[in-house]
């Protein structure tokens, strides 16, 4: 059983060494543990620190791609390298390395495909009241959208089985955390959570510039992701709302036309009512088309899963540097 711990990193020279040093060297049930660092276009000495700190493999982006793409590149690389279990952790030393053993246990026992580390946000004293409220509210929204019971949907400390990693296809360019939980729920994967320790991060977030920016981008991501999996439901609600408004305006015109002497003065209600009704019906029809497209996407994902299964030894445009080769010279392998 091979475990690869992947670490996306962007300008993390100050904490990456500590993060790698705290990772477990042995875990019961795991035969081999390797470390993969995904350098997301760092401008500091992150790459040198990764090499000096004992990382086994490196993906080096010369330009920042974003957390979601770095995460997906890491998954693809881990699958290429033969990982049976993949653990994702942050490079800022926020998480306790020894908790990885807790993360992988449900996968080892076959009771989960994905395990999310729960920071128990309500008890985190270094989170401000506003941040705790936003995190808990966001997780509640994700639970309802995904049909899962994950209490900490934004936690980046996670474990994935090989099968789960092959099934995941990240579309968002912002963050993978919300999307993977929703995908797991919609694809009927077994997902669970375990409590973990989380430490205060002193530096500013690399993911977003402000709380408002984070809320806006997260809301857009959630809407986009949920619409991908439940398009008919989304378009039905919008179409129903507009159609209902149109019917009410039409009934208002009829009321004034037949039961009052002011009917001729309310033609605008008739016009707006018909307009809203037509638009509502059109949106519902768009929902039907989107639902058919979503069904086609599911078939394409099945084909993609089969291709991944059959072509894991193929070639991709991702360079993985083996930092611990068997001989004295550094090897570079293009997989």
What 3-state class would DSSP assign to 102?
helix
> Same structural domain for residues 40 and 126?
yes
Mean pLDDT of all residues in 7-16: 93
By mean pLDDT, which of 77-81, 86-90, 307-311 is the weakest? Answer: 307-311
Give dist(CA 55, CA 147) in Å, integer: 37
Listed range (40-44, 110-114, 173-177, 327-331) with the worst mean pLDDT: 327-331
Question: In a 3-state reduction of DSSP, which class is residue 205?
Answer: coil
Query: Does residue 118 sit in the same domain as residue 257?
Result: no
CATH number at residue 219: 3.90.550.10
Rounded Cα gap, residues 94 and 97, in angstroms: 9
Q: Is residue 8 scored above 50 in pLDDT?
A: yes
**264 pLDDT tier (thresholds 50, 70, 90):** low
Angle between helices 129-146 and 211-229 (to 10 degrees): 10
**Which helix (DSSP H) or strand (DSSP E) does residue 178 occupy?**
helix 177-186
Comparing CA positions, the residue from 298, 42, 68 lying closest to residue 187 is 298
Distance CA 113, CA 96 (A): 21
3-class DSSP state of 74: helix
Considering the domain architecture, whether residues 147 and 42 belong to the same structural domain is answered as: yes
Mean pLDDT in residue range 109-129: 90
The predicted pLDDT at position 51 comes to: 92
pLDDT at residue 73 greater than cutoff 50: yes
Do the Cβ atoms of 224 and 216 come closer than 8 Å? no
The owner of tokens 């500013």 is 204
Q: Are residues 154 and 248 in the same domain?
A: no
From 187, 208, 229, give the residue that closes a domain: 229
Q: pLDDT at residue 263 above 60?
A: no
Least confident of 118-122, 266-270, 315-319, 330-334: 330-334
At residue 35 the predicted structure's pLDDT band, cuts being 50, 70 and 90, is very high
Into how many domains does the chain fold? 2
Q: Quick one: average pLDDT of 94-98?
A: 93
The answer to whether residue 334 is domain-embedded is no
**Phi then psi dihedrals of residue 116, to 5 deg:** -105, 130
201-226 residues labelled b (16+ CB within 10 A) or e (exposed): eeeeebbbeeeeebeebbeebbeebb
Range of the domain at 128: 2-229
* Ramachandran assignment for 11, one of left (phi > 0), alpha (psi -120 to 50 degrees), beta (any other): left
**Residue 326, in any domain of the structure:** no
pTM given for the model? 0.78
- Position with higher pLDDT, 13 vs 330: 13
Q: Is residue 262's pLDDT more than 70?
A: no
Please give the pLDDT value at position 328. 43
CA distances to 35, 59, 150, 331 from 51, rounded to whole Å, are 11, 12, 35, 13
Indicate whether 326 pLDDT > 60. no
pLDDT tops 90 at residue 5: yes
Instruction: Tell me: do 159 and 53 sit in the same domain.
Output: yes
């Amino acid at each position: 059983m091979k475990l690869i711990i992947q670490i996306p990193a962007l300008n993390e020279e100050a904490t990456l060494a500590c993060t790698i040093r705290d990772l477990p060297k042995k875990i019961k049930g795991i035969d081999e543990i390797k470390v993969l660092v995904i350098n997301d276009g760092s401008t500091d000495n992150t790459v040198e620190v990764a090499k000096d700190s004992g990382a086994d493999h490196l993906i080096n982006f010369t330009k920042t791609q974003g957390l979601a793409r770095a995460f997906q590149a890491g998954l693809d690389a881990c699958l290429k390298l033969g990982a049976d279990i993949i653990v994702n952790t942050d490079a800022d030393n926020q998480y306790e390395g020894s908790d990885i053993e807790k993360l992988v246990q449900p996968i080892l026992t076959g009771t989960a495909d994905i395990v999310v580390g729960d920071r128990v946000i309500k008890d985190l004293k270094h989170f401000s009241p506003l941040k705790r409220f936003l995190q808990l509210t966001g997780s509640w929204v994700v639970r309802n959208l995904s049909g899962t019971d994950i209490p900490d949907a934004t936690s980046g400390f996670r474990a994935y089985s090989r099968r789960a990693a092959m099934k995941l296809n990240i579309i968002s360019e912002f963050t993978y955390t919300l999307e993977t939980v929703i995908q797991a729920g919609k694809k009927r994967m077994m997902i669970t959570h375990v409590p973990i320790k989380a430490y205060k991060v002193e530096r500013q977030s690399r993911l977003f510039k402000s709380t408002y920016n984070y809320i806006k981008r997260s809301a857009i991501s959630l809407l986009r992701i949920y619409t991908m999996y439940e398009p008919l439901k989304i378009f039905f609600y919008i179409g129903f709302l507009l159609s209902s408004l149109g019917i009410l305006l039409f009934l208002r015109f009829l009321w004034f036309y037949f039961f009052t002497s002011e009917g001729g003065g309310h033609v605008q209600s008739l016009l707006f009512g018909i307009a809203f009704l037509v638009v509502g019906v059109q949106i519902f029809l768009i929902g039907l088309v989107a639902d058919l497209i979503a069904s086609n996407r599911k078939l394409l994902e099945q084909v993609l899963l089969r291709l991944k299964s059959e072509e894991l030894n193929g070639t991709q445009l991702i360079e993985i540097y083996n930092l611990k080769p068997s001989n004295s010279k550094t090897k570079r392998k293009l997989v």
